[in-house]
């Protein structure tokens, strides 16, 4: 039998904690009984249900917690709108670092970019894949906390298998933007700041910045970083955050929400924020972690 998913789920969620009996009826109808509850649901012809795609060989495997952590650290940076440049997808790239095999995930919406590398077991003949955000969000949701997930690579699909759970995702066609040429090198200005203090300050500034639809202005010099947001009839906030700073003084504006998103998924006590000038992208990463980075473009100074 084949039943309407959302309606069946909503009903099952509200049933009493007793045994459920499901029987098929004529014309694809189904009868459900649970304790004193009895109901009928119209179904669909099971023969019309699409066949599960062929899987291919298991290319790599990694712990469920590792995959969920990787997805959490990049998926928020994808575009919420479909794009011919596949900005609504996440790039999976397989890399060799010495004798070790790594999976790299990259996501960008054109204003920011998140990248994470993580060691995996196995190998793949494919160097790059692009998977849609929506499918990966489902993978992250259904994975258990324990065990390992195996990733099977087919011609047009990727299957994630976790014990009895299987999520199959059709690949996005086309190319992913060449992200490597936008990764900055040798940034002269370097801020080291307490992550929780930085995050709390940004959340306060965001209350007024988001009301005006503007960014947060940063003024960084010596051992302090000033955050300023708002103005006019919405009110204004100015806050100083102690930092370790190397470089000439700089004033720059960022979308506070973009920084909040990244700092929320980072786990280190301190983060490193590297800058060049008020028009170039800033590079944010956890201190002591070379496998994760976050690139964010500044807003125009006014």
Phi/psi of residue 135, nearest 5 degrees: -65, -40
Chain center to CA of 258: 13
d(CA 66, CA 62): 7
Per residue of the chain (302 residues), what is the pLDDT tens digit?
A: 999 999 999 999 999 999 999 999 999 999 999 999 999 999 999 999 988 766 566 678 899 999 999 999 999 999 999 888 999 999 999 988 888 889 999 999 999 999 999 999 887 767 899 999 999 999 999 888 788 999 988 888 899 998 888 899 999 999 999 999 999 988 999 999 999 999 999 999 999 998 777 899 999 999 999 999 988 888 899 999 999 999 999 999 999 999 999 999 999 999 999 999 999 999 999 999 999 999 999 998 76
- Residue 195 is inside which H or E element, if any? helix 195-212
Domains of the chain (ranges plus CATH)? Answer: 5-48 (no CATH), 58-180 (3.10.150.10), 184-296 (3.10.150.10)
d(CA 243, CA 138): 39
């Amino acid at each position: 039998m084949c039943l309407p998913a959302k309606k069946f789920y909503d009903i099952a969620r509200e049933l009493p904690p007793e045994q459920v009996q499901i029987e098929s009826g004529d014309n694809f109808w189904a009868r459900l009984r649970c304790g004193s509850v009895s109901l009928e649901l119209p179904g669909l012809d099971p023969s019309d249900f699409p066949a599960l795609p062929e899987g291919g060989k298991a290319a790599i495997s990694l712990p469920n917690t590792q995959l969920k952590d990787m997805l959490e650290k990049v998926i928020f940076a994808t575009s919420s709108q479909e794009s011919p440049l596949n900005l609504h997808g996440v790039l999976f790239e397989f890399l060799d670092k010495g004798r070790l095999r790594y999976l790299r995930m990259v996501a960008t919406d054109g204003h920011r970019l998140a990248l994470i590398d993580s060691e995996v077991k196995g190998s793949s003949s494919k160097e790059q894949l692009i998977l849609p955000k929506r499918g990966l969000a489902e993978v992250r949701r259904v994975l258990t906390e324990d065990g390992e997930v195996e990733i099977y690579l087919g011609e047009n699909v990727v299957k994630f298998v976790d014990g009895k759970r299987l999520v199959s995702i059709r690949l996005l066609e086309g190319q992913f933007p060449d992200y490597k040429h936008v990764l900055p090198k040798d940034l002269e200005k370097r801020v080291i700041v307490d992550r929780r203090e930085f995050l709390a300050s940004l959340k306060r500034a965001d209350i007024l910045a988001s009301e005006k639809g503007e960014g947060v202005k940063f003024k960084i010099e010596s051992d302090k970083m000033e955050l300023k947001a708002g103005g006019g009839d919405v009110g204004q906030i100015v806050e100083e955050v102690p930092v370790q700073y190397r470089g000439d003084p700089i004033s720059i504006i960022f979308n506070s929400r973009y920084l909040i998103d990244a700092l929320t998924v980072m786990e280190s006590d301190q983060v490193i924020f590297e800058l060049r000038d008020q028009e170039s992208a800033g590079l944010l990463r956890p201190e002591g972690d070379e496998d994760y980075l976050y690139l964010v473009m500044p807003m125009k100074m006014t």
